[in-house]
Amino acid sequence: MAGRIISQQKCRHCGPGFNYLDHYQGKRALLCACGKPATRHTIRLKYKGEELKVSRDHRGRPFYTYAMAERTLEVMRSEIDAKRFDPSRYKPARMKPLRAENYFQTWLEHERVRLDQGQVAPETLRTREAY
């Protein structure tokens, strides 16, 4: 089978990592030596010589449970079998940094559109650009 589910966390209670696959409260989970479950999971998959590490689903949510990671891994395996697998779908998207200047530029572009529609006076736009 292609790929496996791991946890790169260290246990807060006893120290070592989560190495044992067993049941915790009726569900499969990666457990440490003291019996505590991991709360973050990563899928490791080799595809065409490239190692892919996936720690979030397609909506950007982290894999909090083993079951979430397992479902995604099964989807990946079925896509590989059907020869429809695209690793770029599982890589994090490049986002602009969360900086005020990026928000201000977007806001000014919106204000320029409003100026073209006649909703904002030219002097108002110049004042806002000065800020």
pLDDT tens profile 63-101:
888 888 989 999 988 998 999 988 888 776 665 666 777
Quickly list DSSP for the chain: ---EEE---B-TTT-SB--EEEEETTEEEEE-TTSPBPS-BEEEEEETTEEEEE-B-TTS-BB-SHHHHHHHHHHHHHHHHTT---GGGGSPPP-----HHHHHHHHHHHHHHHHHTTSS-HHHHHHHHH-
Phi, psi of 59 (to 5 degrees): -95, 0
Torsion of CA 35, 56, 87, 49, to 10 degrees: -30
Which tens digits make up the pLDDT trace of 9-67? Answer: 787 778 777 776 767 777 777 788 787 888 888 899 888 888 888 888 877 788 888 88
Give the model's pLDDT for residue 95: 56
Beta bridge partner(s), residue 46: 51
**CA pair distance 126, 112, nearest whole angstrom:** 10
| CA 36 to centroid of chain Cα atoms | 24
End-to-end Cα, the chain, rounded Å: 58
Amino acid 98: pLDDT = 66
Residue type, 23: H
